[in-house]
Amino acid sequence: MFAEKPTLKGERVTLCPVGPEHAAGLHELVSDPEVRRLTGSHAISGKEPLLHWYATRADQPDRLDLAIMADGDYVGEIVLNKLDTDNLSCNLRIALIGARAFGRGYGTEAMELLLGHAFDTTPLHRISLGVFTFNDRARHVYKKVGFVEEGIERDALLWDGEWHDAVLMSILRPEWQARSRSLA
């Protein structure tokens, strides 16, 4: 379903297939302590494994990994993964590079571009995600683009000795289509 890796252009960001040329940006992203906390990422990968990871994403027909570019600079990634073809669903994850990318609308636009692509060019019916309860900025953006809270995954993350819940959210094709029509 994701064999074709598109480039999607918006006003502020361009989403393009990840490749080795984005590995330094990914290393910066996963090395940022605040980004690691927001995403619940405990481990930091070295540059070589990240280079290999981004070099192999184009060969994965069951996922879509796109770099978020703003003014020619890597500012994050957005991914559709965990594809379930039987139920026409997948997971979405997004991470911005840190303070220099937060609060500029990059995440909102990237999500709108990717959701539009997914619901307009694939048979997907449902896209879901999880977000930690302390990540108010992300929760706000997810709701803004149409995601609906479905439930709580209790004690999903142990960070610095404290347990944190995750909110499960999703958006369905008819919800996206209704939202898109209302904005047109």
Q: How far apart are CA 9 and CA 181, in angstroms?
A: 20
Cα(19)–Cα(34) distance, integer angstroms: 24
**Separation between Cα atoms, residue 11 and residue 106, nearest integer Å:** 10
Integer Cα distance of 157 and 176 in angstroms: 29
Confidence band for 181, pLDDT divided at 50, 70 and 90: confident
What pLDDT score was predicted for residue 28? Answer: 87
Its pTM surpasses 0.75: yes
Convert the pLDDT of each residue in 126-162 to its tens digit.
Answer: 999 999 999 999 999 999 999 999 999 999 999 999 9
Chain centroid to CA 37: how far? Answer: 15
